């Protein structure tokens, strides 16, 4: 699903990503771990098509953003859902409206939006919160809304940027269980960026460790952490 070969990226002549190569299979949960400043978010933004890289290649389902126009990239980005540490919900909108937003932006008709929002809220077990505003929800519930919104356009990949870093351990476990279920039920590849090794141990099939913009180790969680 994601194939990265010798990817390089610099800001102002400082190399931020150095010769990154990795392959993420269709239905894999893949962890990217590393300290703050290691380049994890930059790599996610490259995968997401928000950031251009300097050299190498990055193909998602065979599509390389370097080869295409902005318009094609915009369309292509529907294939990628993303969630964040601080949820990024619209505070003035209800749960329903937050989940509906991407579909409204793409001009879906109201009946399909309505059906899909209800389906997604069932998946994340938040049907009873449909008319609440985010401020009435717990952190875990907000992340569930963000997950429903990220899935609204039927993406092939879900990118999670420190998605459990603001949550307590118990809530973290329930979000990880939800991600695992989504991966298995909908066959969506999930990339988890985190500085929490425990998260990777719990659900990632494979992991790469980023250090100073380069991958220092890759493999199954157990093999990589034995080497550490
Ligand atoms: P991480 O997500 O692992 O904390 P980042 O990808 O955010 O790491 O950052 C990697 C490095 O790139 C850091 O040294 C950061 O200061 C630098 N960096 C990130 N974004 C920019 C930018 N827009 N301009 C210049 N430097 C940047
Ligand atoms: P706007 O922000 O332009 O007022 P909204 O985002 O409020 O539009 O609403 C978009 C559509 O979703 C509207 O047709 C609204 O009636 C519908 N809607 C919002 N909440 C619900 C809900 N809980 N059940 C069914 N439809 C809803």
pLDDT digits (tens, 9 = 90+) for 65-94: 888 888 888 888 999 999 999 999 999 999
Q: Which of 93, 94, 100 has the most ligand 2 atoms within 8 A of CB, as the residue to mutate?
A: 100
Which residue from 149, 176, 151 is spatially nearest to 163, judged by alpha carbons? 176
> For residue 199, how far is its CA from the centre of ligand 1 (angstroms)?
22
pTM: 0.88
Distance from the alpha carbon of residue 13 to the mean position of ligand 2, in angstroms: 47
ipTM of the complex: 0.63
**What separation in Å is there between the alpha carbon of 14 and the centre of ligand 1?**
10
Ligand nearest the Cα of residue 52 is 1
Q: What confidence score (pLDDT) does residue 113 get?
A: 98
E strand or H helix at 145: helix 139-151
The three-class DSSP label of residue 216 is: strand
Q: How far apart are CA 31 and CA 163, in angstroms?
A: 12
User: Is the CB of residue 185 below 6 angstroms from any atom belonging to ligand 1?
Assistant: no
What's residue 226's pLDDT? 65
7: Cα separation from own chain's centroid: 19
Predicted local distance difference test score (pLDDT) of residue 224: 85
Decide if 176 contacts 184 (C-beta within 8 A).
Answer: no
Measure Cα distances from 176 to 55, 164, 192, 217 in Å: 34, 8, 10, 23
Helix axis angle for 139-151 and 95-105, nearest 10°, is 20
Q: Output the pLDDT for position 65.
A: 80
Say what the pLDDT of residue 221 is.
Answer: 85
Protein residue with its CA nearest to atom 9 in ligand 2: 97
Could you tell me the distance, in angstroms and rounded to a whole number, from the CA of residue 99 to the centre of ligand 2?
Answer: 11
* DSSP state letters, 1-56: -EEEEEEEEEETTEEEEEEEEEEE-TT-EEEEE--TTSSHHHHHHHHTTSS--SEE
Q: How far is CA 92 from CA 19, 37, 69, 131, 187, in A?
A: 43, 33, 34, 11, 33
Cα 84 to ligand 2 centroid, rounded to whole Å: 24
Q: Verify whether ligand 1 is closer than 6 Å to residue 37 (CB atom).
A: yes
Model pLDDT, residue 149: 98
Q: Which stretches of the chain drop beneath a pLDDT of 70?
A: 226-228
| Two structure tokens written together for 165 | 């870093």
Q: What residue owns the CA closest to ligand 1's atom 16?
A: 37
Q: Please give the structure tokens belonging to residue 221.
A: 């969680």
């Amino acid at each position: 699903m994601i194939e990265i070969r010798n990817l390089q990226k610099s800001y102002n002549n400082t190399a931020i990503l150095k010769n990154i190569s990795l392959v993420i299979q269709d239905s894999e949960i893949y962890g990217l771990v590393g300290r703050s400043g290691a380049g994890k978010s930059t790599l996610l933004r490259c995968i997401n098509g928000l950031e251009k890289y300097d050299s190498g290649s990055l193909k998602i389902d065979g599509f390389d953003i370097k080869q295409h126009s902005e318009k094609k990239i915009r369309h292509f980005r529907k294939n990628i859902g993303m969630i964040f540490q601080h949820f990024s919900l619209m505070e003035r909108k209800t749960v329903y409206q937050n989940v509906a937003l991407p579909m409204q932006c793409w001009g879906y008709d109201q009946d399909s939006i309505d059906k899909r929002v209800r389906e997604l809220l069932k998946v994340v077990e938040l049907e009873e919160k449909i008319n609440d505003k985010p401020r009435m929800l717990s952190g875990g519930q907000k992340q569930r809304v963000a997950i429903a919104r990220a899935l609204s356009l039927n993406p092939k990949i879900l990118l999670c940027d420190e998605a459990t870093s603001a949550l307590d351990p118990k809530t973290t476990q329930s979000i990880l269980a939800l991600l695992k279920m989504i991966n298995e039920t909908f066959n969506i590849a999930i990339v988890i960026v985190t500085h929490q090794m425990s998260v990777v141990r719990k659900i990632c099939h494979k992991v790469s460790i980023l250090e100073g913009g380069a991958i220092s180790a890759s493999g199954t969680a157990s093999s990589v952490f034995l080497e550490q």
